[in-house]
Structure 1
Amino acid sequence: MGIARAPVQVRNPDAAQVETTNGPFMSSSLPVAGFAVIEATSLAEAVNIVSRTPCAVAHGVVEVWPLEEEP
């Protein structure tokens, strides 16, 4: 596992244009119920991958939290 760095919000409404916003979208005192771990060589590649997911395309938002590998 690793240490989470600053998140990026990814949207791609109707698969028309990828939009990114720095910072978290969600704020909750409860744990998040769903997440996925993807392997990407860069943050740009991770954004590209998640921008094609149904949630990002259907006017939702996907948060990308880059992980810093522990030494």
Structure 2
Amino acid sequence: MAKFVTIGYGDQDGYHRTDAAVRDGAHAHDVRLRAAGADMGIAGAPVQVRNHDDAGMTVQSGPFMSSALPVAGFAIIEAATMEEAVQLVSKTPCAVARGVVEVWPLQESP
């Protein structure tokens, strides 16, 4: 099985405008993904770390990337193919509650 990193984007307004039954179904889907081994979490406050040329570390509060919607959470999932990974995340809260989920294949580093 291949591993995929997922990044969920969404805001509270979109979440609350989604029918409660749809949200409940999405949360139940997340419970099933966790039971199958997915490692999931809600995004906290990030920091940026730099250590260019190993000459000294700097740390700065805040995200490096930007998006129209805030980052809501991350997951590491396993799937046989990208298509299967997409199907797995299509029922998650960010996907159904007016947000978006990115799916990135996780390749082993050399």
TM-score, normalised on structure 2? 0.34
Aligned length in residues:
47
Q: Which runs of 4+ in 1 moved over 6 A?
A: none
Instruction: Give 1:43's aligned residue.
Output: 82
Deviations 1:2-57 (A, max 9, x none): xx8xx9xxxxxx88xxxxxxxxxxxx516x67311000000000000000001101
Higher helix proportion = 2
Structure 1: stretches of 5+ with no match in the other structure? 8-13, 16-27
Structure with a larger share of its residues in strand? 2
Return the alpha-carbon distance in structure 1 between the equivalents of residues 79 and 96 of structure 2.
20
Between the aligned residues of both structures, percent identity stands at 64
Q: Which has the higher Rg, Structure 1 or Structure 2?
A: 2
* Residues 33, 49 of structure 1: alpha-carbon distance in 2 compared, 3 angstrom cutoff: closer
Unaligned runs of at least 5 residues, structure 2: 7-18, 23-62, 66-70
Q: CA RMSD in A?
A: 3.2
Give the TM-score normalised by the residue count of structure 1. Answer: 0.50
